């Protein structure tokens, strides 16, 4: 496994997420189960992602971190598939700011203990 940080998909605009059009779409589609019901509202606060990828670049686990490197959530879990882990994006290790298994596991445990 490889571990690293990325700032891809950290440019969420909270105003856009709460626009009339988006709210209307959410109302119309309310009966369709959402992939990340607990995490979606936190996406605008993610400043970077710490991700775990396998040797082929497929995401295994993810942690969303705020601007102070405080973990906001981790995925996948019982109710949330995950932003990256539910996508077909593959990462090359060169695309990531390096991290370690120990750092990832420490932050993962912080999130799990706070749930």
Q: What is the pLDDT of residues 30-80, one digit of tens each?
A: 555 566 777 888 888 999 999 999 999 999 999 999 999 999 999 998 888
Range(s) of the domain holding residue 19:
2-114
Tell me the mean pLDDT in the region 6-29: 64
pLDDT in tens, 90-102: 999 999 999 999 9
CB 101 within 8 A of CB 54: no
pLDDT at res. 20: 57
Q: How many domains is the chain partitioned into structurally? A: 1
pLDDT at res. 51: 97
Share of the chain residues as helix, strand and coil, in percent rounded to the nearest 5: 30, 25, 45
| pTM confidence score | 0.80
- Which of 49, 45, 25 lies closest to 108 in space, CA to CA? 49
CB 54 within 8 A of CB 4: no
């Amino acid at each position: 496994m490889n571990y690293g940080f990325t700032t891809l998909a950290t440019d969420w605009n909270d105003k856009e997420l709460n626009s009339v059009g988006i709210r209307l779409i959410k109302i119309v589609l309310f009966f369709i189960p959402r992939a990340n019901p607990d995490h979606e509202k936190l996406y605008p606060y993610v400043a970077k992602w710490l991700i775990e990828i396998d040797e082929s670049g497929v995401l295994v686990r993810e942690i969303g971190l705020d601007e102070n490197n405080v973990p906001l959530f981790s995925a996948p879990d019982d109710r949330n598939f995950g932003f990256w882990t539910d996508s077909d994006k593959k990462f090359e290790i060169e695309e990531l700011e390096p991290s370690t298994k120990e750092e990832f596991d420490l932050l993962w445990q912080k999130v799990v203990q706070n749930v």
